[in-house]
Amino acid sequence: MKTIIFIIAFLLNSVLIWSQELLVEDSLITEVKPASIKFSFNGYVKDMQSLSFPKDFKSLLATNLIHNRINFKWFPFMNLTFATELRNRLIWGDDVRIIPDYNQLLRNSNELVNISNIWFSNSSMVMHTNIDRLYIDYKLSRLSIRAGRHRINWGISTIWNPNDLFNTYNFLDFDYEERPGTDAIKFSGDISGFSNVEIAYSPGNKVNEKVLAGKYFVNSGGYDIQLLFGIYGNRFTAGGGWAGSIGDAGFKGETQFFTKTSSEKFHINMTIESDYVFESGWYFSGSFLFNNIGLDTKILNPSQLNFNFSPANLMPTKWNFTIASGKEITPLFSANLSVLYSPGTNLLLFLPGLKYSLGENLNVDLVWQSFYASLNQFEALNHRGYLRLKYNF
């Protein structure tokens, strides 16, 4: 397995360097299209320093990440696509040293087949490669089939996606823009220019993780509307979502139900979201999530707050509200702020961020995350800061 992954990574990097040289020599800046070019590629390189503080800021834990991504697609014919996308991550510091079984956390639990590799690991450093997209996509006039490791994007809302049955993402993981995929097969068919149907199946790593579901989508009255039905593990699930506007404000939401079993309660996740952009350039949004089995009383220990998200666990708390704002202060500099509050537990997340463009395809981000909740009293749990430099190619 190490040899195979090394060969794939080496060949993709070699193709990348060779093709970039050709682009410079021929001054090709046009968009890559399957009709004219048989392959496309892009990616990025990041360096991110993270600092973790306890509630009283009396100590410091530091971790560094160097992250390289390569996206490669081959178009042998107009209606056929092969895609491979991989992540190379070198991580060292206190997180690796103190978090139990840290290496196991690097693998996406949605992946049935393990095509990742740990090149080396010691008490404070690990280098990991994972192929998180590997699929074939075939299109006919009204039908398309995609099989392999890919993202099935059924979510509509920005923060929480109850309809995302196959590959739930963690909204706190801002550094994973592509979001996780899943090993699955999906059939998509266009009924008309305003409606379509999708059916997908993922066997999952365990019996209770398999998903078989279908989605019907239609655009009607200025709204995108979808209905979902299927099996999640050993439970029947049904839901739906919408996206449109009320006046100049965006309005969207999703709902998903899960039937009860002998060991699991009836479950419903519901989210509603609205956003608005003012003429001055300020962006504002508000979101609400209801999770009927979430916590709604004071916690005794921070470990009760489970942020390992899944379709059945979008938040550890029952009632959740977010307010977010952002503005492009100058063409090169932008700022944003999100605040999440959950009554009952008094969980509060304070999430500000700054972004600055240092040049073409080169950006620097400063992100902060503070967590508060009520234990004996309302108090800070921890704080994390991130400084990230990212170059896109």
Q: Digits of tens for pLDDT over the chain (393 positions)? A: 444 344 334 334 433 333 343 333 333 333 444 456 799 999 999 999 999 999 889 899 999 999 999 999 999 988 999 999 999 999 999 999 999 989 988 988 778 888 999 999 999 999 999 999 999 999 998 999 999 999 999 999 999 999 999 999 899 999 999 999 999 999 999 999 899 999 999 998 765 679 999 999 999 999 999 999 999 998 999 999 999 999 999 999 999 999 998 888 899 999 999 999 999 999 999 999 999 999 999 888 888 888 888 888 899 999 999 999 999 999 999 999 999 999 989 999 999 999 999 999 999 999 999 999 988 889 999 999 999 999 999
Domain extents for the chain? 40-392
| Rounded-to-integer distance, Cα 380 and Cα 372, Å | 4
* pTM tops 0.85: no
Please give the backbone phi and psi of residue 327, each rounded to the nearest 5 degrees, phi first.
-155, 140
| Rounded-to-integer distance, Cα 135 and Cα 145, Å | 10
CATH topology of domain 40-392: Porin (2.40.160)
Residues with Cβ within 8 Å of residue 155, at least 6 apart in sequence: 161, 162, 163, 164, 241, 254
Q: 322-329 — which CB contacts under 8 Å span 24+ positions?
A: 322/159, 322/285, 322/286, 322/287, 322/288, 323/284, 323/285, 323/286, 324/283, 324/284, 324/285, 324/286, 324/287, 325/282, 325/283, 325/284, 325/285, 326/282, 326/283, 327/280, 327/281, 327/282, 327/283, 328/281
- Greatest Cα pair distance, the chain, in angstroms, is 67
Q: Residue 237 in contact with residue 261, Cβ under 8 Å?
A: no
